[in-house]
Amino acid sequence: MSFTTQVKEDLTRISSSRTCCRRAEFVAFFLINGMIRISGGVSLVMQTENSGVARRMFTLAKDFSLDREVSVYRRSRLKKNQVYRLVIPPQAGISRFLEELGMLDAGDRWRFGFTDQIRGHFLQEPCCCRAFLRGAFLAAGSVAAPDAGSYHLEFNGIDREQADLLLSLLAEQGIPGKMLQRRDNATVYLKGAEHISDFLNIIGSHRSLLEFESVRVFKEVRNQANRLRNCDNANVNKTVAAAARQVEEISYIQRELGMKYLPAKLRAVAELRLEYPDASLTELAELSCLGRSALNHRLRRLEQIADNIRSYGVSEWNRSEARGK
């Protein structure tokens, strides 16, 4: 089962005691996923591949006093999935329903375009706005599994006016949505785990929200552990590289100059490094009873001496110029 299917199954189990919320949810589903047929009288058609969604819309249509029927057919192409079709046949209640949506006027004349009448009739209360978003997700929503590469939720295949309304409702809930226009259709989408978690909470998919948050926390802990491990590996590689460079420079001084010509303090550090070629600076400091800063200064001085020998010859090994000048 995909995560989108799981979320939708959660939503179909929500029981709402408020008629206004049930009506808002049904209206959202119809506006996005419904069709109007005029042949033989005006009828309404909605379809979905989710049997639970079909049952829920069948039940919600009762609040509009509409007779309805459900049929099932199988697609003949591609995945050949079963499709559940909810049909509201011609009846007197359809005109009243379309008038409430602003699609018909009082004289049964058609009005085109998405009107503000939806807000006035169905979205007056915050709970109804959440129900509308729930119906919209049941109609056209999908969400990537929390263990996928990125967090993504979208409403796909809607028109521009529906997209604008969804963006407005999401903004009222404190969720910043974005829109992508694709030819005649628009897509409203959410990015970011926190925004998707907030949306799942708002529409009432609490079981899926718990799973989403659980996987999200696990991923964050795992990513943090990976970052720490990478940081540790980088530090180890840096320490090993520095130690190898110091051993090489001291060995060069030993071959070209001889350790006996070095000052006692530098000679002691040079011999300690050769004795412990893999030790870190902290470990050498503990062995030498010197501070890290003092030890690091003497090792850098040894590297400078090696550089002086290469650049100016053995006789100039004790030049005081800074390395690189």
Question: How many C-alpha atoms does 79 have within 13 Å on its Cβ side?
Answer: 4
Question: What average pLDDT does range 297-307 have in this prediction?
Answer: 91
Question: Which residues touch 275 (CB under 8 Å, ≥6 apart)?
Answer: none
Category of 108 on φ-ψ map: left (φ > 0), alpha (ψ -120 to 50) or beta? left
Question: What average pLDDT does range 115-142 have in this prediction?
Answer: 87
**69-120 pLDDT per residue, tens:** 999 988 777 667 889 999 999 988 888 888 888 777 666 666 555 556 777 7
**Which tokens in the block code for residue 22?**
């049930």
Burial class (CB in 10 A: 0-12, 13-18, 19+), 31: buried
**174-217 pLDDT per residue, tens:** 999 999 987 778 999 999 889 999 999 999 999 999 988 888 88
Per cent of the chain over pLDDT 90 is: 40
Average pLDDT, the chain: 86
Domains and CATH numbers, the chain: 3-204 (3.10.28.10), 237-316 (no CATH)
Q: Where residue 323 falls among pLDDT bands split at 50, 70, 90?
A: very low
Q: Where residue 59 falls among pLDDT bands split at 50, 70, 90?
A: very high
CA distance 139 to 11: 12
**7-32 pLDDT per residue, tens:** 999 999 998 888 999 999 999 999 89
Question: What average pLDDT does range 51-69 have in this prediction?
Answer: 91
**136-181 pLDDT per residue, tens:** 999 999 999 888 778 899 999 888 888 999 999 999 999 999 999 8
pLDDT at 322 over 60: no
Q: What is the pLDDT of residue 217?
A: 83
Q: What is the pLDDT of residue 321?
A: 44
Alpha helices for the chain (secondary structure H):
3-12, 19-33, 51-60, 92-101, 117-122, 126-140, 160-172, 193-203, 206-256, 264-275, 281-288, 292-312
In this prediction the pTM is 0.69
Q: What is the pLDDT of residue 4?
A: 93
Q: What is the pLDDT of residue 204?
A: 92
Q: What is the pLDDT of residue 282?
A: 86
Place of tokens 């989108």: 4
**Which tokens in the block code for residue 70?**
């459900």
